A and B are shown apart, each in its own frame.
Chain A
């Protein structure tokens, strides 16, 4: 556990962007207005799967007020090339076709044309006049159906890749993954108890409050300027440049304030389209998705089918694991099956395991990341089976987890061993918690627990700090601020320099001003960009030592920098501000800078407790009490860590109990609005209690681990275990909505 006491780190200053956000002054993309700006509207496919026979845009183009109409024919031909986007990679041909369909539409909502007009109503009316002739094709939206040999093919040339080995026949399965550790078959033979079940999870959406929006201004000199809601301005720049086949240096992306992303705002959807409309019209163009567009055309997270098996000795030692996983990729390859496979047994030290995973294309929007992508699905399966083992062995569900929890040196099923990690500490915090030690009583009530994991990553970050004449700092960094990261990063700079958080003025720069910075994702920003700010502060201190040596007529080596950021030499000690003012007066101006590329995963573990009451008449689940425990390494701003824990947990509760894409007979989505797609509101969840565990990450100067993703992993499993304990009914399908739970309870009673 970390014990170091800090001045700024661990405190709770008011966030730098708070006033602008609560007073409505913060500038989001849809607030951006440029002179002469046009409104864009995207025409989308009404069919789940169809060939585009022809498109006639003549009537739309003739409408007064219409300045430009584009279709897939206006997009450059992009070669079948895979581009590294920093965090993950993408096939550019698929990316381009997802922005605007070419020969086929692969899901309802797939863009087929776009219009720019003087206002959005004219643009929408014009879009209605575009005549698209479709040849409707058979479609498929369930992952196991899409894997069948006679399933309708989405891509005629797609073959299964098994780590470089290509299948001969096309299919909807672009990737098969396989992992082995030890000898699982022999271990199952020797197991005293085996549990095995099949699980299904529905497609769910990230549900960010701000729909995708973009403003693009394509200059005649070839410069393209974009204002957008993105989790990564640099990856947005790269994707846009690649899709449009223009020089990357010609594109300037300004990340506006962002109303949530959760992984769904990394891929570009509208940027190339708005850019081409702007190029064609000669005017800036703004496009904003409707909520229906967001549901139907931007990345949900995969639905899945999973068959998982665990074997254990009678003393509760889990000795064998087996998993067969099939995840939706959506319309194009590249889903979340990799991390799904790597997370299915990530919390448990299982000596023998085998995992097979399949990425499956089907007629849904291309899936994208969503908080710990791929991990929540498998936790729903594994964490229930661990409970079932405990129940059948007569063990406590916490005891079996403690007995088998991974720790430093445990080997994952995909190979690497863990460095120091904090799962056992989280389970211990659970055991000591008031929640765990408060008995739950009453009819139809149950308590469940579950653990969760996400890798966390480092990637590339940059920071620059300019010292003002009064010794305060302007901090420039490139991480889109989704969860208060500006302040968390500023606090780390303040700590190293001996300043207050309020002495730092943090700003998120655009791609022309900030140093290269990877996406806000992977639970990396407070860790990596915070590390860049720390190093920029160290760079500043080095420069100040050199300059102070002239002022104080001594050698730089004679000047030491204290833990409180003060400078000392020859019995004289001054603080950062005092020296900065002195240096500025002497004609010196200072800019500290740093780039970092930490490569170590931050390994975020957590555990959660859920208390529920189930209405036997309706199957409705009421969450009575919920506690989320997580190893943050070191909480820079505890309020933001608590916010991440609470937010992730509530999203997980929604995923568990209500959220799902309903598909109609023609494979189009029936509930593309927040009225019918049921996300939890404040009335649906209790206050989420949080416990922050701090084991300290040795790879960060202040011990930070990522916290944003892990909290969404355990809720469906914890709630399923709680529901089982309340009703004696094991739920293996998400969401555990009232009708599904009610039916399962009826079936359970009938079988008894």
Chain B
């Protein structure tokens, strides 16, 4: 089971739950499952069906550029964090 961390700003939707364990093939699958568990979550982190440009997905501490199609492994750790740029 992969561990998906609920961003602190969305924990109002998860009743304070900080993370959930689920089986997901990719980020889209995980987001869809999260939205079933916590209705409204998808709308908060997605724009036009993709991860919002202001966010990025960290899978096992690697920032993926593949968005919704990024693969999730059975023991992966997934975070939704702000997108950043360097100088």
**Which A residues have a C-beta under 8 Å from some C-beta of B?**
82-85, 87-89, 161-165, 175, 177-180, 206, 261-264, 266, 338-339, 341-342, 369-374, 414-419, 454-457, 459-460, 521-524, 597, 599-601, 706, 708-709
Contacts and interface: CB of A to CB of B under 8 A. Distances in A.
Given A415-B81, A416-B79, A599-B62, A164 B43 contact: yes
A108 to B, nearest CB: 24
Nearest to A337: B82
A266 B52 contact: no
A601 B61 contact: yes
A414 B81 contact: yes
Contact of A179 (B8, B43, B83): B8
Contacts of A261: 87
A369 B10 contact: no
B44 A415 contact: no
A164 B45 CA distance: 6
Given A82-B53, A163-B7, A165-B9, A416 B61 contact: yes
B85 A521 contact: yes
B13 to A, nearest CB: 10
Contact of A84 (B11, B53, B63): B53
24 contacts: A82-B47, A163-B45, A164-B43, A177-B82, A180-B11, A180-B18, A206-B87, A338-B82, A338-B83, A338-B84, A339-B82, A372-B87, A373-B85, A415-B58, A415-B81, A417-B77, A455-B84, A457-B63, A457-B86, A521-B87, A599-B62, A600-B63, A601-B61, A708-B87
A165 B44 contact: yes
Contact of B61 (A206, A417, A522): A417
A163 B61 contact: no
A469 B47 CA distance: 52
Interface string B51-87: 0111000100111110000000000010101111111
Nearest to A699: B62
B5 interface: yes
A266 B87 CA distance: 8
A338 B11 CA distance: 19
Given A415-B79, A415-B81, A372 B9 contact: no
Is the contact region of chain A dominated by helix, strand, or loop, or is it mixed? loop
| Size category of the binding interface on chain B | 20 to 34
A282 B31 CA distance: 51
A342 B87 contact: no
Contacts of A83: 53
A557 to B, nearest CB: 31
Nearest to B58: A416
Given A163-B9, A177-B9, A521-B85, 10 more contacts: A163-B10, A164-B10, A164-B52, A175-B54, A180-B11, A455-B84, A522-B86, A599-B63, A599-B65, A709-B87
B85 A415 contact: no
A369 B61 contact: no
Contacts of A459: 65
Contacts of B84: 88, 338-339, 342, 373-374, 455
Nearest to A91: B53
Contacts of B45: 163-164
B78 to A, nearest CB: 9
A178 B6 CA distance: 12
B73 to A, nearest CB: 14
Contact of B87 (A179, A262, A601): A262
Name which of B11, B45, B65 has the most chain A CB atoms within 10 A of its CB.
B65
A251 B62 CA distance: 33
A261 B9 CA distance: 35
A164 B46 CA distance: 8
Contacts of B8: 178-180
Interface string B9-47: 111000000100000000000000000000000011101
Contacts of A84: 53
Contacts of B10: 163-164
Contacts of A419: 61
B3 to A, nearest CB: 10
A371 B77 CA distance: 29
Contacts of A89: 53-54, 83
A369 B44 contact: no
A62 to B, nearest CB: 44
Contacts of A262: 87
Given A165-B44, A263-B87, A521-B87, A342 B62 contact: no
Nearest to B87: A263
Name which of B18, B61, B83 has the most chain A CB atoms within 10 A of its CB.
B61
Nearest to B44: A164
Contacts of A369: 85-87
Contacts of B79: 414-416
B53 A418 contact: no
A418 B61 contact: yes
Nearest to A164: B44
Nearest to A180: B8
Given A342-B81, A599-B63, A454 B7 contact: no
Contacts of A175: 54
A87 B85 contact: yes
A373 B87 contact: yes
A709 B7 CA distance: 27
